[in-house]
Chains A and B, each alone.
Chain A
Amino acid sequence: MNVNIEVNGKMIQAKSGETVLTALRRAAIQVPTLCYMEDLLPTGACRMCVVEVEGQRNLVPSCAYPVADGMKIQTHSPRVIRARKTVVELLLANHPDDCLYCVRNRNCELQKLAESLGVRERRYTGEKSEHKIDSSSPSIVRDPAKCILCGRCVRVCEEVQGVSAIDFTKRGSKTIVGPAFNEGLNVSSCINCGQCVMVCPTGALREQSYLKEVINALKDPNKYVVVQHAPAVSVTLAEEFGLKPGTDVCGTMTAALRSLGFKRVFDTSFTADLTIMEEASELVHRIKNGGKLPMFTSCSPGWVKFVEEFYPDMLEHVSSCKSPQQMMGAIIKSYFAQKEGIEPGKIFSVSIMPCTAKKFECQRPEMLDNGIPDVDAVLTTRELARILRMRGIELGALTPEGADTPFGERSTAGKLFGATGGVMEAALRTAHFMITGQEMDSMKIQALRGLGGTKISHVKVGPLELGVAVVSGLLNARKLLDDIRAGRKDIHFIEVMTCPGGCIAGGGQPLGTNLDAVRSRMQALYKIDREEPLRTSHTNKWIERLYKEFLGEPLGHKSHELLHTHYVKREAVI
């Protein structure tokens, strides 16, 4: 049922039961928010979205106040603006004054609010926060001094990811957000996904940067520095340079990486194809030999840690395949090094990922071969943009270039890894071929596409009917795992991506992302899949060659040594 409300003297329509803020947003009336998160229940904590409602003595938080017929609202009256300004001034009272040095300078919600509300003098001076930086985690840096206690990180960690590694601790003016006992993130149950970083309005949460190590390696004449870039990076990097979401800059990004000084530029989508060869073989093997089913994918390192911590009894269900990043790292320091006659210890292998958990993954002891790590440093999409700006490289001014051999060509199946459902689609294409000897009639599996958090379908593969599930956002995964624990048996293969939407919305992607941008990125990947001819991993000639020259066969001895691993139960200290 619709109701009519009057906003700033104009009538607008609203739906009965919705909040004032939702109605205002639909009518394109801008009301600032801080603690508000779309799709989650409002907390009304920050009071930034207050509006004046006729007949109400106090200002009301529009995010948590339902509309009513005939309601008269002022969104920008002097009283409202004064209240909002005071909120910002109070937040700034104990905020560190180091904007120029802050990673979020010019991209900070608090800074933008202060600017738009005209905060030009310090009216309140509070005691500065004594809390120091927690940089123990290999993925995320936490700086409680910059925290404004909006609680968005706490909510995303609990209500979207189902992890609850951080929460409000202590009381009143001593309140901070952090792991239990204010311990380091390193020993908490944090899965390093970086979704907290994506929602943090200030610089209180940010990625652990490895730019210094990479720049240092690039100038070291004794190092042979190579780089790989993940499938989701080429469709998001453009946004950092003001281009519209969903622009694919794969070619120019390759050129940019070469001009930064990387000797070889590889596309991780190639090893996504390799992952599919191994993973689809593993699935077929499990089905034929009565192995543990359902099988879970293992490309998303946040998810792997999640299972280790919260569902250790289900670790056997997780595929033993390393992620595409680690597979690429492993074959660079073995096959490539051997082919080129370079000592593996001299290679410095960098990867550009949409993900903060990849930084953790490359430092796992399982990913070390004879003391040499598969991947030496991981940069996020944001860090890549930072180094490109630092070096004055304009993406638009470069001519697109192709990736380097011997990992030169990828299928579009590998590229689909960037979006939720992509791994499943790619794996099914190859598993179908492995089981029936024929290609699928239609490569596209519509039921597995889109941004839905849980997508379940049954797919006919020759004589078999496979139950498949695609899940993104770990709270959704938790629900499905609980079902399976309780005896659900109709699902055989499950793809889990830690971040809602998959890597295109990963914790290392450009900040300030909205759902429309994620949708455009997803469409960009689907467009690539639609328009290019090589659509299956098993028909990639370079993959065939890699098996012929080096690996032997999927699940063979060499593959096991380099491309597979195993995970064990993990005790989070707190």
Chain B
Amino acid sequence: MTNDNKTILLVDDDIDFITAQKLQLERAGFKVVMAESQKKAEETLMTLRPDLAIVDLMLEYKDSGFALCHHIKKKDPTIPVILVTGVTSDTGLEFDAATQEERSWVKANAMLIKPVRFEQLLWEIEQLLQ
């Protein structure tokens, strides 16, 4: 499998969600490191450079995901980041990472709205790992 040895950092406070995603990502050949908070993720990033990060927006704070994306990109701008969020259905706020301008402040390469189908996530991952 071409995904061998690619490491993905998976950050979400919904343990059920990341456990399910982890199993599916591992089946697709990735190595997966989980973190259930921004703090844990930052700690992991001290010692690990993932090939890609999947970040939930609302963690300890409502905007933790933004901060984490920012920190990941500051540390290494080449790490692709996918922001996964249910913020539209939770708060009604709508935003996107569709254009260069939006990506410049969101600091994510792609955004997916929850609920996410795994095949959709895999599609984004494969595109970004090009």
Contacts and interface: CB of A to CB of B under 8 A. Distances in A.
B122 A136 contact: no
Contacts of A340: none
A6 B100 CA distance: 65
Contacts of B89: 132-134, 136, 184
B126 A371 contact: yes
Interface string B97-130: 0111000000000000111110110110011011
B47 interface: no
A212 B127 CA distance: 19
Contacts of B115: 136, 183-184, 186-187, 573
A201 B130 CA distance: 43
Q: Of residues B88, B117, B129, which shows the largest number of chain A Cβ atoms within 10 Å of its Cβ?
A: B117
A371 B120 contact: no
Contact of B126 (A134, A136, A220, A368): A368
B16 interface: no
A216 interface: yes
A373 B125 CA distance: 12
A573 B114 CA distance: 13
B4 interface: no
Contact of A186 (B91, B92, B116, B126): B116
Q: Of residues B88, B90, B98, B127, which shows the largest number of chain A Cβ atoms within 10 Å of its Cβ?
A: B98
B114 A372 contact: no
B91 A216 contact: no
Interface residues of B, number: 23
Interface string A293-331: 000000000000000000000000000000000000000
B96 interface: yes
A216 B90 CA distance: 28
B100 A216 contact: yes
B88 A187 contact: no
Given A184-B113, A216-B98, A133 B88 contact: yes
Given A186-B116, A212-B99, A213-B99, A135 B88 contact: yes
A212 B113 contact: no
Contact of B127 (A187, A213, A373): A373
Nearest to B129: A371
B126 A364 contact: no
A437 interface: no
A392 interface: no
B88 A132 contact: yes
Nearest to B121: A365
Contacts of B119: 364-365
A522 B98 CA distance: 36
Contacts of B94: 133, 135
A371 B2 CA distance: 11
Interface string A189-209: 000000000000000000000
A58 interface: no
Interface in A369-400: 370-373
A365 B123 contact: yes
Nearest to B87: A132
Contacts of A370: 130
Contact of A220 (B100, B114, B120): B100
Nearest to A138: B120
Contacts of A371: 126-127, 129-130
B117 A187 contact: yes
A371 B122 CA distance: 10
B21 to A, nearest CB: 14
A186 B98 contact: no
Contacts of B130: 345, 370-372
B89 to A, nearest CB: 5
B52 to A, nearest CB: 12
Interface in A171-192: 183-184, 186-187
A363 interface: yes
A132 B100 contact: no
Nearest to A573: B115
Contacts of A368: 123, 126-127
A363 B113 CA distance: 14
Contacts of A364: 119, 123
A368 B129 CA distance: 13
A215 B101 CA distance: 12
Given A371-B129, A372-B130, A132 B116 contact: no
Contacts of B116: 136, 186
A220 B114 CA distance: 29
Interface in B55-94: 88-92, 94
B100 A363 contact: no
Given A133-B88, A135-B94, A220-B100, A184 B122 contact: no
Given A132-B88, A132-B90, A184 B114 contact: yes
A130 to B, nearest CB: 9
A331 to B, nearest CB: 20
Given A363-B123, A368-B126, A136 B113 contact: yes
Contacts of A215: 99
Contacts of A183: 115
A132 B91 contact: yes
Nearest to A134: B89
A555 to B, nearest CB: 27
A186 B123 contact: no
A372 B127 contact: yes
B127 A186 contact: no
Contacts of B123: 363-365, 368, 373
A216 B99 contact: yes
Nearest to A217: B99
A250 to B, nearest CB: 30
Across the A-B interface, the 6 shortest Cβ-Cβ residue pairs: A371-B130, A216-B99, A184-B115, A136-B113, A132-B92, A187-B115
25 contacts: A133-B94, A135-B88, A136-B115, A183-B115, A186-B113, A186-B116, A186-B117, A186-B120, A187-B115, A212-B96, A213-B98, A215-B99, A216-B99, A216-B100, A345-B130, A364-B119, A364-B123, A365-B123, A365-B126, A368-B127, A370-B130, A371-B126, A371-B127, A373-B123, A373-B127
Given A136-B114, A187-B115, A216-B100, 13 more contacts: A132-B88, A133-B94, A183-B115, A186-B120, A212-B96, A212-B98, A213-B98, A220-B100, A365-B122, A371-B126, A371-B127, A372-B127, A573-B115
Interface of B: 88-92, 94, 96, 98-100, 113-117, 119-120, 122-123, 126-127, 129-130
